[in-house]
Amino acid sequence: MSEINVKSDPSVKEKFENYPEHIRPKMENLRRIVLETAQEIETIKDVEETLKWGEPSYLVKKGSTVRMDYKEKKPDQYAVYFKCTSLIVPTIKEIYGDLFNYETTRAIVFGLDEEVPEEALKTCIGFALKYHTIKHLPLLGEI
């Protein structure tokens, strides 16, 4: 595991602080999973944590943005978002099937009482963080 440098926009901390109290630990857990995944990928040295479309977002060189959020209009769920035109969510569906709930080709959605399958989610987040180096591989390199 390599050390990574996380450059965090102060507005992200504020965003996390403003999540409802029962949601904040879930969002912090997703953040932890993203940063641990980045740290486990040897080629990643820097992670930019910022807000895109008002959502906590994680960017790395040669990767595709990973976003996450909880939206009050859908109070029973929270999600990890990927670029909808990428092969990420279609590949996740092919590999993991109904292990996850999906929002079209853009997100993995979790219910508030749902256990997050952490190792599988790390694989999915890894697809995004390495996307531009693996997008040409069958199933993004999982076969």
Question: What pLDDT does residue 4 have?
Answer: 94
Question: What pLDDT does residue 86 have?
Answer: 93
- Give the 3-state DSSP-derived string for 57-81, with helices as H, strands as E and coil as C: EEECCCCCCEEEEECCCCCCEEEEE
CA dihedral 2, 135, 117, 35 (to 10 degrees): 30
Question: What pLDDT does residue 78 have?
Answer: 98
Q: How far is CA 118 from CA 29, 64, 89, 115, 138, in A?
A: 10, 20, 16, 9, 23
| Fold topology of 5-134 | Aspartate Aminotransferase, domain 1 (3.90.1150)
The pLDDT tens digits of the residues spanning 65-122 come to 999 999 999 999 999 999 999 999 999 999 999 999 999 999 999 999 999 999 999 9
Residues 76, 56: Cα–Cα separation, whole Å: 19
CA dihedral 77, 53, 128, 63 (to 10 degrees): -160
**pLDDT at residue 28 greater than cutoff 70:** yes
The pLDDT tens digits of the residues spanning 9-26 come to 999 999 999 999 999 999
Residues 40, 87: Cα–Cα separation, whole Å: 22
Q: How many CB atoms lie under 10 A from the CB of residue 44?
A: 20
**pLDDT at residue 143 greater than cutoff 70:** no
